Amino acid sequence: MSLYTTKPTKELTQKEFQKFIKNKKIILGNHALDHLSNYQRGLFDPNELINSLLKETPRKLYLQENNRYRIYFRKKEGYRNIIISDEGKKMVIISFMDVPDLPKIKL
């Protein structure tokens, strides 16, 4: 039995990312907001995550061992890390997290 982890296995370029999401619908996964309280969910606009993927330039992009993609975007106070899964004609936002710094990853 093999255990697939969130360990990055490959760094992607901006061009690869744009080709990858081109013509795919981006949706929010069922559990993407699970770590937010009910109050925070009322304040947070999920479209902000989708707009980041469509309109912003990622600072770092990685393919993980579990075949999901980890994408870092620059924000006012650090970075937003969005994890997405390729499900054929759609991309599903699995999770996100705001972090103070980009991690130092050695592939």
Tell me if residue 75 falls in helix, strand or coil: strand
Examine residue 51 and state whether it is found in any structural domain, yes or no.
Answer: yes
Q: Is the pLDDT confidence value at 1 over 60?
A: no
Examine residue 3 and state whether it is found in any structural domain, yes or no.
Answer: no
Residues in the chain: 107
**pTM for this entry:** 0.88
Examine residue 23 and state whether it is found in any structural domain, yes or no.
Answer: yes
What CATH number is given to the structural domain containing 70? 3.30.2310
Q: Is the pLDDT confidence value at 19 over 70?
A: yes
Q: Is the pLDDT confidence value at 96 over 80?
A: yes
Q: Is the pLDDT confidence value at 2 over 70?
A: no
Rg (CA), the chain: 14
CA–CA–CA angle 87, 35, 81 (5° rounding):
60
Burial 42-53 (b: 16+ CB within 10 A, else e): eeeeeeebbebb
Examine residue 89 and state whether it is found in any structural domain, yes or no.
Answer: yes
Examine residue 87 and state whether it is found in any structural domain, yes or no.
Answer: yes
Structural domain including 21 reads: 9-99
Domain count for the chain, please give it: 1
Examine residue 104 and state whether it is found in any structural domain, yes or no.
Answer: no
Tell me if residue 55 falls in helix, strand or coil: helix
